[in-house]
Structure 1
Amino acid sequence: MKKETEVREIIEYYAGQKEAKSQENLTAMLREIQETEGWIPAEACSIAAEKIGIKESMLACIIKLYPSLKSAPYVHEILLCTGERCQRKDSLELLAAVKEKLQTDKEGLSKDKRILLTTRNCLKKCSTSPNIYVDKVHYPNMTKDKLLKLIDKLRQE
């Protein structure tokens, strides 16, 4: 069965549920779409919103609320700490360097759509700042050179 047909069947199923507009139902639907596609395409959100009778922005909010839901087909995720202690050790300089290297859009997605850059105010690892996570693996005491080399390595995968 083609992915597009499978996604439409998932949407039809959840649109027919008694509590179709509940957050629980919408989240389950989005998770199933992601299992099928590997991510949640904007087109699927548009179709789902129309069928269920909600705004697309509601689905976008749910996707942002759950870090496990992906609105883009990225392969790697970089999470950079922008907390006060990391900032004192140049985390904002790291952020600027990564944004420039990846040519990120406003959502943090790299130009090649393979790497997602996100930030968090504090990763609670202040003693080893500046800190980043790449694909949920912690990298302490990060420097600009180490980070740019790490990005080059990610792009080769």
Structure 2
Amino acid sequence: MTQDWTLREAIEYYQRQGAPGDQGMLVALLREVQGERGGVLPAADVAEIAAAYGLKETFLTAVIKRYPGLRPQEAPHLLELCGGPRCSSRDAARLAAFVEECYDVRPGGVSTRGSFSYRISGCMKNCPNGPSLKWDGELHSRADEALIRTLVEGG
């Protein structure tokens, strides 16, 4: 990364060039960020760009997927919370709030602390044992904050 380069200045420069309305300028910004960040687009940078331009992160992610040369930084793990009605009535909403606050992440995003993608799924068909979650595809029953901490922090 060059010494004098900052993401904020790049965002402002490309905004003067027409981004985000001019998708070519938006993509040029993403390419520059990727070049400055060692060949990948960190999730935190994508989130900052989206916020600065008033875009949804999901829109920016869709733009990134359309351009094969753009490579988002992948999170090594996936945390899925059951969003089914029975789990929701069994403290799943409290668990979601815990994850979002403690690990600075929103559904569909990548945590800035803990290196995992996070989403709320449909019913996991484990209703009698909820709230349920999946960590890298492995189902966990009767989930609580301690389980989440153990999975995310490896403790």
Q: 1:102 to 1:128 in 2, by over 3 A?
A: same
2:98 corresponding residue in structure 1: 97
**CA deviation after TM superposition for structure 1 residue 122, in Å:** 0.9
Whether the aligned pair in 1 keeps the contact of 2:135 and 2:151 (CA below 8 Å) is no
Residues 79-117 of structure 1: per-residue CA shift (max 9 Å, x gap):
110111001110010011011121115632101472101
Whether the aligned pair in 1 keeps the contact of 2:83 and 2:120 (CA below 8 Å) is yes
**CA deviation after TM superposition for structure 1 residue 143, in Å:** 1.4
Which range moved further: 90-99 or 137-146? 137-146
**CA deviation after TM superposition for structure 1 residue 74, in Å:** 0.4
Structure 1 ranges of 4+ moved more than 4 A = none
Structure 2: which amino acid aligns with 1:122? Answer: C
Whether the aligned pair in 2 keeps the contact of 1:72 and 1:113 (CA below 8 Å) is no
Q: Is 1:81 aligned to 2:120, yes or no? A: no
Aligned length: 95
Q: Could you tell me how far apart the structure 2 residues matched to 1:105 and 1:90 are?
A: 18
SS in 2 for 1:118: strand
Equivalent residues in 2 for 1:99-118, closer than 5 Å: 99-105=100-106, 107-112=108-113, 114-118=115-119
Q: Could you tell me how far apart the structure 1 residues matched to 2:125 and 2:103 are?
A: 26
Q: 1:143 to 1:76 in 2, by over 3 A?
A: same
Structure 2: which amino acid aligns with 1:95? Answer: A
Give ranges in structure 1 of 5+ residues lacking alignment.
1-39, 43-56, 64-69
Q: Could you tell me how far apart the structure 1 residues matched to 2:107 and 2:145 are?
A: 22
Q: Could you tell me how far apart the structure 1 residues matched to 2:114 and 2:152 are?
A: 13
Whether the aligned pair in 2 keeps the contact of 1:73 and 1:113 (CA below 8 Å) is no
Whether the aligned pair in 2 keeps the contact of 1:98 and 1:148 (CA below 8 Å) is no
**CA deviation after TM superposition for structure 1 residue 145, in Å:** 2.1
1:119 corresponding residue in structure 2: 120
SS in 1 for 2:105: coil
Give ranges in structure 2 of 5+ residues lacking alignment.
1-39, 43-58, 66-70
Q: 1:78 to 1:106 in 2, by over 3 A?
A: closer
2:62 corresponding residue in structure 1: 60
SS in 2 for 1:74: coil
CA RMSD, 1 decimal = 2.9
Residues 23-47 of structure 1: per-residue CA shift (max 9 Å, x gap):
xxxxxxxxxxxxxxxxx869xxxxx
